[in-house]
Structure 1
Amino acid sequence: MRKNIKITAAAAATAALALGLTACGTDSDPASKADGAKADTSKALVIGASPTPHADILNFVEKNLAAKKGIKLEVKEFTDYVLPNTATENGQVDVNFFQHQPYLDDFNKKNNTHLVSVATVHLEPLGVYSKKVASIAEIKPGQTIAVPNDTTNEGRALHLLADNGLIKLKAGVGTDANLGDITDKKGLSFKELEAATVPRALNDVDAAVINSNFAIGAKLNPTKDALVQEKADGNPYANIVVVKQGNEKDPRVQKLVELLHSDEVKKYIEDTYKGAIVPAFGTSS
């Protein structure tokens, strides 16, 4: 029977404390060691995921494919970008599925966590949305654009704006670009918000750069409502399946990856999201 549990930011303090305890461990600390090859395969694989599209995809797998592969899945939904990683680090969940590699790299660096990617699954093109203008060309000096405030998604958003002529960035600035790297704001103002809350700001700003998963959750259609979107070709922001280092060889994780890369999941993504979410299958280890 499917278990689907939603975790909200109300648990942040508890998770942060737990992360503080685990992140202080060293490589010689037994608590930091993991050996997925010895995992009890009779137990459900507990997966932390954002509600849309990650949990939706996992629930499709659990309902239609998992039993045939001899695996049980328990999906826990998280509504922010921090708790799934802290829960994976401290063992509250076995796997998480919500982020891209640049975000994971930044998170590990800042929090001394030991999380690794085992597979890529799909791409969620970032888009610019507005309820006040109908095209990028209508965004003028004096207007305000909301952007995600986490390091990688803010950089990603700024590059999207620069690619479409709304701002200019320092030459050679990478994925960690921030507002200080803008050399010409062209009269625009910016409002930095947690990625999950950006859609709710659409009524208060002139435009907003929104992750596709949060756009879909806010009843926006990325392929129709976005003024512009990122290109899929060569995009480094494919969403990944993540485990704590040492758990890559857990047979349940390997089965999950195999199912997420199946023709059935590819068809589900294409039929359900109609280009708003794009399959991007690959392995990371």
Structure 2
Amino acid sequence: MNIEKPFRNALFSALIACGIVNTQPACAVTQTVRVGIMSGEDEDVWRTVAANAAKEGITVKVTTFSDYTQPNEALAQHDLDANSFQHKPYLDAQIAARHYAIVPVGFTYVQPIGLYSRKVKSVAALRENAAIGVPNDPSNEGRALLLLQANGVIKLRDGVGMLPTARDISSNPKHVQIKELDAGIVGRAIGDLDAAVVNTDWAIKAGIEIPQERIAQEDVTGNPYRNFIAVNAKDAQAPWVKTLVQSYQQANVASAILKVYHGVTLPAWDGAPQH
């Protein structure tokens, strides 16, 4: 049989890698996994994850995004193999709107959302008709309104679940004005507002002083907003998924999270160190 030279060379290289030719010990198969994350501090965290994964035969190729809507679309279109940026209420809203077949496969961290102000030092000090900024995407707006309710600023109608909107406010004693802004903008607008509910990652990017300017924060215990690694449903049982999750859920990754996020973002998998 006449084997073409390129194929013969590739076959010879594979045999060397598997120890069938020459003296190499074992077959080392390297798989590339494309992961989408948000730009910023997460890039430092994923350098540690990638180093862990490399020891297990996986090359992690990270793609960064600045828009929350893009990583799920890229995953659904198979431009990514996994992403790591979202919590379950956000994914549920995306699935309802876009019918994605995307599933969570392993927790990463939790970023307790906070209410910040440069004009008052407490929730009680908020003035009548105060302007309060909230993120305008469904899951994070719901999260913001639930935080305002938990701190007595507003009351929501019964049965609103995890995705209330401003239309669900049933009581507003101080007549606060809810300003719906893009999640990436609300933190930067804090100087023009009386207060703003801002996701932790965007608060850091906006230069908000955490915890000095925080006047309220959601509870960490039982928090439903833990972030996770997500994949297409058809890949959920693939061997590389388990390896990727295990590469993330390591003590050195927990240390990286606490370091790069200055202790305001916490590892969220079971048994993860918190300091």
| Alignment of 1:158 onto 2:141 | no
Say whether residues 1:213 and 2:201 are aligned partners.
Answer: yes
Q: Is the 8 A contact 1:52 1:214 kept in 2?
A: no
Identical residues among aligned pairs (%): 38
Matched residue, 1:188: 176
Any stretches of 5+ residues in structure 2 without a counterpart?
1-28, 271-275
Cα distance change of structure 1 residues 250 and 224 upon mapping to structure 2, 3 Å threshold? farther
In 1, the alpha carbon distance for the partners of 2:117 and 2:192 equals: 10
**Which has the higher Rg, Structure 1 or Structure 2?**
2
Matches of 2:143 and 2:96, distance apart in 1: 18
Q: 1:164 to 1:202 in 2, by over 3 A?
A: same
Shift of 1:224: 3.3
Q: Mean alpha-carbon deviation: is it higher for 67-76 or for 87-96?
A: 67-76
Deviation at 1:221, TM superposition (A): 4.0
Aligned pairs (5 A) from 1:204-283:
204-282=192-270
CA RMSD of aligned residues (A): 1.7
In structure 2, the partner of 1:22 is: none
Encode CA deviations 1:206-252: one digit per residue, 9 max, x unaligned: 11100011112223343333111111001100001111111112333
Equivalence for 1:30:
none
2:49 & 2:211 partners in 1: Cα distance?
A: 25
Relative distance call for 1:221 and 1:65 in structure 2 (3 A) is: farther
Among candidates 45, 56, 78, match of residue 91 of structure 1:
78
* 1:24 equivalent in structure 2: none
Q: Displacement, 1:273?
A: 2.8
Give the conservation status (yes or no) of the 8 Å contact 1:100–1:240: yes
What 5-or-longer segments of structure 1 have no aligned partner? 1-40
Q: Mean Cα displacement is larger for which, 263-272 or 180-189?
A: 263-272
Q: 1:57–1:221: structure 2 CA closer, same or farther, 3 Å change rule?
A: farther
Q: More deviation in 221-230 or 257-266?
A: 221-230
TM-score by length of 2: 0.83
Q: 1:225–1:259: structure 2 CA closer, same or farther, 3 Å change rule?
A: farther
Aligned to 2:34, what secondary structure does the other structure show? Answer: strand
Equivalent in the alignment of 1:176? 163
The residue matched to 1:200 in structure 2 has which SS? coil
SS in 2 for 1:76: strand
Aligned residues: 242
On the 8 A contact 1:122/1:239 being kept in 2, the answer is yes
State the one-letter code of the partner of 2:67. D
Give TM-score scaled by structure 1 length: 0.80
Q: Could you tell me how far apart the structure 2 residues matched to 1:71 and 1:260 are? A: 12
Alignment equivalent of 2:69, drawn from 82, 99, 116? 82
The DSSP-based 3-state class of the residue aligned with 1:46 is: strand
Counterpart in the other structure of 1:119: 106
Which is further off, 174-183 or 252-261?
A: 252-261
**Do the aligned residues in 2 keep the contact of 1:47 with 1:97 (CA within 8 Å)?**
yes
Contact 2:128 2:175 in 1 (8 A): yes
Q: Secondary structure at the match of 1:159?
A: helix
Q: Which residue of 2 aligns with 1:199?
A: 187
- Residue deviations 1:113-145, cap 9 Å, x none? 111110111100000111222221221112100
- Determine whether 1:103 maps to 2:90: yes
